[in-house]
Structure 1
Amino acid sequence: MRVYVPLTLPGLAALHRSGELGPAPLTAFAVTPALRDWYGEGADEEELEYGALGEAAAGALRLLAADPAAPRRRVVVVAEVADGAVDADPREPGAVTLTAPVPLARLASVHVDAADAEPAVAAAAAGDRDADPGHELLWYGVQEIPHLL
């Protein structure tokens, strides 16, 4: 199953140092039956995956709100995990809980805000309801993690 895990840049640095995403349990997002229902019948797989990525980006914003020292850039890592390592989380469509750490080798990509998004992300993380990060997360290969840090 493909999962989208919200992080911050310090969380990404910890992942890089340790070689795994964890410890479990970890909140993540995926294309779940609840997310499919929420989007409705006409949504294709790409749209659903983009929705899961968006939910993870919102989760990264919540992590930033809880860590005022973190740079104001949302981070989402995408990983492929065994279905048995994921439990559905009924709190919101697409939410899942990872029940085991995820090795760095299972990561497929990393998505991070560009530096010019920091003011909008900072405002949104500070609770400004009118602030919209409004920026697309940029795609990076896993091998580019050291350059992001």
Structure 2
Amino acid sequence: MPIRNQIEAIVQSLTNSPAFAYGTTNELNTLADDITTFPCVFMYPVQPIELSPHVNSSVSNTFTLTLEFLFKTEFDQYTADNETYVSQALKLANELIVKASTYRESEGRYFKIKTGTKARCLPVYNKFDANTTGVSLTITLTAMYFQNF
């Protein structure tokens, strides 16, 4: 199952159940025009995926994700007018990190987030043609359950 399915499930469990969109920058720009429910979490394709072989014949997969937590804004608003949206989006990003660390699939947690691992969160203003504002989160997650071959 693609990693985006787990992320979408986590997004849907966030406060106010944000919408979810997945794609490249151009695809997300087009999708943003049609989204009627905001806030929305936009997920870019996963890059890179790091494979780490282990002595027990298993492989762990580490994913670097870029997600944007965006709110619809007006074209004539100044940056200072949008700070409220940045604060709300930051809360959603924090909530996603907490929920990802406890997300369960089958019998155990799906992701491992190492203590001390930093996630980057940058404010985003006037994004896409639809004019949205929020934060961009870049985080690295390790899948806990993987197949033995």
Structure-1-length-normalised TM-score:
0.27
Q: Answer 1 or 2: which has greater strand percent.
A: 2
Question: Larger relative CO (CA 8 A, sep 6+): 1 or 2?
Answer: 1
| Structure number with bigger Rg | 2
TM-score by length of 2: 0.27
In terms of fraction of residues, the more helix-rich structure is 1
